[in-house]
Amino acid sequence: MSQTRSTVGVTPVGDLVLAIETSCDETAAAVVDRARVVRSSVVSSQVDQHARFGGVVPEIAGRAHVERLVPVVAEALVEAGLSGHELDAVAATCGPGLIGSLLVGVSSAKALSLVWDVPFVAVNHLEAHLYAALLEEPDLELPMVVLLVSGGHTMLVLMEEHGRYRLLGSTLDDAAGEAFDKVARFLGLGYPGGPAVDALAVEGDSSAFAYPRPLVRENPATLPEDRRFAFSFSGLKTAVLNHLRADPDAATADVVASFQEAVVDTLVTKARWAVEATGVGSVCLGGGVAANSRLRERFLDMADGAGVRAFLPPPSMCTDNAAMVAAAAWWQLQREGPSPLDTGADPNLGLRLVP
């Protein structure tokens, strides 16, 4: 057990958190020390089981979590060189996500917290994605703007302090990752589509086709205030599909490169607007799409141009993992203490926002 301890009021809060993540199709467990040092992070992907269906099948996901969770937790403990009794808390993602999958992780974490007699912490998956950038980054300062881009969500959040999030804007329809997956599926590139598009786009010409940049203008002030930081990827996806129907011989690499550039342009432009509007000194990326190589490159250039510090989690911490859940759990323990053992899983859980 680590020696340093922190306190919430009079309640001692320990440092070593074991977290479990089972919200979708990755079975993951990790041990993180003081929300910063990753002692272990194990991710068992179910992609092979879902790929032939072209997307995640909830029933298969739930069953696979049941099969894989115990070995994954055991591996995380061995990798960290710890036994369960040396831990200070056990956390699990409690939503949003697939209900059957979430229940596997939440029930297991509660049972382990009882066995080891340590606090249980129920973590919001979106909040966990926000915390991925704080792992291994002791210098990160708040407030910061976070661009959270995953398969289910796309949002710009002002993280004012720990646990205090202001939503600047979110997608009105499809999430960025969803657009990647749908375009890839139409092109027969398999599931998940994001990594396949990323890899193929390197061989294409990103200026070959001028796809739309939704809700982007030269001057942000010309957009209605409630649309300024909003996203809409459904129309862009449809524009690509219509183009492919009209021009089936278009080179696939050029199509995906041009599509990716349109998504990245839109995301980076709005992130820059958010940095300018809020006056923050730091900006970071989170969520599975944050693993995209072109987005990472353009995001760093944007931050450089805006004179702010950019924090990009390594690609393995962008896609679903339990280390980010452990980090969010540790900060939550500092602020709020343990979660009640009757906390349930909530498939539609949203980020708790300040008005």
**How far apart are CB 152 and ligand KG4 at their closest, in Å?**
4
Per CB under 6 A, 15 contacts ligand KG4? no
Distance of closest approach, residue 53 Cβ to ligand KG4, in angstroms: 15
Q: What does 193 bind: Zn ion, ligand KG4, none (CB cut-off 5 to 8 Å by kind)?
A: ligand KG4
Q: Which stretch binds ligand KG4 (CB under 6 A): 39-47, 209-217, 271-279, 285-293?
A: 285-293
Among the residue ranges 30-38, 78-86, 190-198, 297-305, the one whose residues contact ligand KG4 (CB under 6 A): 190-198
Q: Is 150 in the site for Zn ion (CB under 5 A)?
A: yes
Residue in this structure with the two tokens 């072209």, named with its chain if needed: 54
Give the x/- contact pattern for Zn ion in 289-328, rule: CB under 5 A.
-------------------------------x--------
Interaction partner, residue 289 (Zn ion, ligand KG4, none; CB < 5-8 Å by kind):
ligand KG4
* Choice between 283 and 324, CB closer to ligand KG4: 324
Which is nearer to Zn ion, 150 or 206 (by Cβ)? Answer: 150
Q: Which of 292, 317, 338, 345 binds ligand KG4 (CB under 6 A)?
A: 292
Cα distances (angstroms) measured from residue 163 to each of 135, 154, 322: 16, 19, 18
Residue 289 touching ligand KG4 (CB under 6 A): yes
Q: Does 95 bind ligand KG4 (CB under 6 A)?
A: no
Shortest gap between Cβ of 81 and ligand KG4 (angstroms)?
Answer: 27
Q: Shortest CA distance to 145 belongs to which of 229, 265, 226? A: 229
C-beta of 23 vs 40, nearer to ligand KG4 = 23
For ligand KG4, which residue of 100, 169, 220, 287 counts as binding (CB under 6 A)?
287
Least CB distance to Zn ion at residue 171 (A):
15
Site for ligand KG4 in 17-46 (CB under 6 A): 24
In Å, what is the CA distance from 234 to each residue of 171, 223, 226, 241, 260?
A: 10, 19, 18, 11, 14
Of 87 and 187, which has the nearer Cβ to ligand KG4? Answer: 187
Contact residues: ligand KG4, CB under 6 A: 24, 150-152, 177, 180-181, 192-195, 198, 287-289, 291-292, 319-320
